[in-house]
Amino acid sequence: MLLNKSNLLVLLPAFNEGKVIQKVIATLIQTGYTNVCVINDGSTDYTLKNAQLAGAIVLTHLINRGAGAAIQTGIEYAQKCNYSYVVMMDSDGQHLVEDIQNLCAVIKDTQADIVIGNRFSLKSNSIPKHRRFYNFTANVLTNLFCTKKYKDTQSGFRLLNKKALENIHLKNRGFAFCSEMLIQADQKGLQVVEVPIQVVYSDYSMSKGQNLFVGIKTALDILWRVVSN
């Protein structure tokens, strides 16, 4: 199946992203990515209203279930609607829409099943030290259970083809879903490649995501998910 913007769905998991979600969606739609699905993960602010106003499809969890649960809901929706490709992006504005083209080019050239945006390949990316530490730890843990070694196992910017959508079934509800997806892909023989992407850490985006507690919990979740399987 040829990749084009009409058969590609952009998934934006969102928890209390009302301040920025409208701008993120508008940028996508203005760039031609009109199939945008926001998974409103139990937000208590105006994420739902602003996502709808911006023109996105919105799926809502009544309670906050976690990033992994949100992505799995999005994957199931993409399968139901027969999309051939899915792009996962963070909804806080740290990913740049123009990098979607880079992921698409790689999946066309390599016939990969999953393309991951690697934040650490570009020296121009200013990534806080504690984020580098969290990702280094998660990389070590994840790579223990994969035949291929990845440099950015926790990247939320990913492109999946139909084969990947049919074979990935996330059980982890938290941020450890990033590692779980790679481990499942390895076990099922899916081809995964990484491509450099830009990333923008604003004061707003830094207030979201992983802190020390979440980082430790993510590491434990990675180990538990593998051991329990």
**35 found inside a domain:** yes
Q: How confident is the model at residue 178 (pLDDT cuts 50, 70, 90)?
A: very high
pLDDT-based confidence at 128, cuts 50/70/90?
confident
Range of the domain at 19: 7-228
Q: Rounded mean pLDDT of the chain? A: 89
Mean pLDDT of 135-144: 87
pLDDT score at 53 = 98
Band of residue 216 on the pLDDT scale cut at 50, 70, 90 = low
So what's the pLDDT on residue 3?
84
Single pTM value for the model: 0.89
Residue 226 in this model has a pLDDT that exceeds 70: no
- CATH number of the domain that 187 lies in? 3.90.550.10
User: Mean per-residue pLDDT for 86-96?
Assistant: 95
Place of tokens 């023109």: 55
Which letter does DSSP use for residue 46 in this model? S
CA count, 13 A, side-chain hemisphere, 190: 25
pLDDT tier for residue 34 given thresholds of 50, 70 and 90: very high
In a domain, residue 148? The reply is: yes
Is residue 62 a part of any domain in this protein?
yes
End-to-end CA distance of the chain: 33
Q: In this prediction, what percent of the chain has a pLDDT beyond 70?
A: 87
Q: Judge whether 31 lies within some domain.
A: yes
Q: What letter represents residue 90's amino acid?
A: D
Residue 2 included in any domain:
no
Q: Grade residue 204 by pLDDT with cuts at 50, 70 and 90.
A: low
Q: What angle do CA 168, 227, 189 make, to 5 degrees?
A: 35
Of the two residues 220 and 82, the one the predictor is more confident about is 82
Cβ of 212: how many Cβ atoms within 10 Å? 10
Note the helical H segments in the chain.
Answer: 21-30, 47-54, 67-80, 99-110, 129-143, 162-167, 177-187, 203-206, 212-228
Tally of domains within the chain: 1
For residue 1, is it within any domain?
no
